[in-house]
Amino acid sequence: MENHTTRPHHVAVVGSGPSGFYAAAALLDADLDVRVDMFDRLATPWGLVRAGVAPDHPKIKSVSAQYDKTARREGFRFFGHVHLGEDITRDELLERYDAVVYAVGSQTERRLGIPGEDLPGSIASVDFVGWYNGHPDHVDLAPPLDTERAVVIGAGNVALDVARMVLLPEADLRATDTADHALDALVASSVREALICGRRGPREAAFTTTELRELADIDDLAVVADPEQVPAGIADDDTLPKATRRNLEILRGFAEHAPDPDAGHRMEFRFYRSPIELRGDGRVEEIVLGVNRLETGEDGRTRAVDTGERETVATGLVLRAVGYRGMALPGVPFDDETGTVPHEEGRITGRDREYVVGWIKRGPTGIIGTNKKDANETVRHLVADLGGRAPAERDEDHHAAVESWLRERCTDLVDQTGWEAIDAHERGRGEPAGRPRVKVVDRAEFTKLSRP
């Protein structure tokens, strides 16, 4: 058998977010005859670019044009409405593909583990973000927006996203692709203030500079920081990384300028605060915050230590933005501690033909572009492994047979052509109002739109 080098290798990529698309692109770029089938449990591709990135960040979302380009390359197929573990199994994939890449991200929340965490009105950012972005799993969330103050837990970019989304002026919101159910609710919302609580200090906050800087440009918004927490000269410490110093300069700007008393909305940063308890009669009515001091551990990392002092803040909405967490895939090894799949540079530990990329590989950190390098590392090993092995014996019509199998198994299957029809429909609906798109959120409607 000398012809095996010309017979294509078949690779399945499970998950169609940034890491999945960067892996697909790297595979198609490789010096290898390869076909890539990408699966998603949703009808729509792009993962967090569609369902995570805040709607008022269209520039970040425009990275999807790159994914579109990949999707149009020869050798690539997209199959939506395919849920691994429900519609198809891992074993079935391994029978049909020479390698499987899991690019499923971190689909759930990190827990706070405090009393009252599950009271109505206490919402994980993964649910809230999914709700305003029209993720079909979260359309029925109905967050209580009949409260003046929202408290946001966490000092990362997701905390900023959710705080902005509850405070954006109506005109800004209406220009976005925020799902219509959320748009209506946010426009009618009573929330006037978002209090962002970081458990450590301003130096330790995980915000990125662009995200902090843009706050100053939001209409009708007063941004407030405490001059005692962000004192003059805080940014002058040249032992700090440049990015931290830039962030501190911006936060110092918020601390030293008196907030516009006429602004209709207010965003306040309060550092050295940990959530201790949520209280309320049938729903959140207040949050108890613990005041922290900082201590540097032997590992050099700064830790928040409870001083025992307490503050009680009235609120009907607590948004928990303390990070995402990966979920185990059926039959795939999982490290419960880190919420990731154990691997060596993307090769799943103890597995021959299975790989990971993105957040399920390295945890929920980094920006979209971080996934490119990460996927390249995995694909480099994958390609080396495939190159060192003769592809499995396959029938001539293997490619078509896989599609028939999927169509039989998944009656709502959405292929690339189907997704393009959905995409055109959504963009078309958005055009008259100058919005990027009006999102479809209903499974049956996705299926219907995807059919010729």
Residues at the site binding ligand NAP, with contacts judged by CB under 6 A: 60, 110, 112, 153-159, 161, 198-200, 204, 206, 208, 211, 274, 321-324, 364-367
Question: Dihedral of the CA atoms 254, 257, 263, 264 (nearest 10)?
Answer: 40
Nearer to ligand NAP, 155 or 318 (CB): 155
Answer left, alpha or beta for residue 177, where phi above 0 means left and psi between -120 and 50 means alpha.
alpha
CB 125 to ligand NAP: min, Å: 6
CB 18 to ligand NAP: min, Å: 11
Nearer to ligand NAP, 287 or 379 (CB): 287
Nearer to ligand NAP, 45 or 156 (CB): 156
CB 122 to ligand NAP: min, Å: 13
Nearer to ligand NAP, 80 or 275 (CB): 275
Nearer to ligand NAP, 22 or 39 (CB): 22
What size, in residues, is the chain?
Answer: 452
CB 302 to ligand NAP: min, Å: 8
Nearer to ligand NAP, 72 or 111 (CB): 111
Give whole-number Cα distances, 228 to 160, 233, 269, in Å: 21, 12, 12
Nearer to ligand NAP, 43 or 197 (CB): 197
Nearer to ligand NAP, 367 or 401 (CB): 367
CB 365 to ligand NAP: min, Å: 4
Give whole-number Cα distances, 383 to 29, 149, 348, 395, in Å: 11, 52, 14, 22
Nearer to ligand NAP, 208 or 229 (CB): 208
Residue 185 CB partners (closer than 8 Å, separation 6+) = 142, 143, 145
**Cα-atom radius of gyration of the chain, to the nearest Å?**
24
| Residue 163: closest CA among 195, 132, 209, 200 | 195
Q: Is the dihedral of CA 208, 212, 214, 218 positive or negative?
A: positive
Instruction: Identify any residues that bridge with 193 across adjacent strands, giving them in sequence order.
Output: 149, 266
CB 284 to ligand NAP: min, Å: 16
| Residue 47: closest CA among 19, 25, 86, 27 | 19
- Residue 440's SS3 state is coil
CB 204 to ligand NAP: min, Å: 6
Q: Give the Cα separation of 193 and 148 in Å (integer).
A: 6
CB 158 to ligand NAP: min, Å: 3
Residue 62 CB partners (closer than 8 Å, separation 6+) = none
CB 128 to ligand NAP: min, Å: 12
The residue number whose beta carbon is nearest to ligand NAP equals 156
DSSP β-ladder status, 286-296 and 302-314 = antiparallel
Task: Tell me how far apart the terminal alpha carbons of the chain are, to the nearest angstrom.
Answer: 42
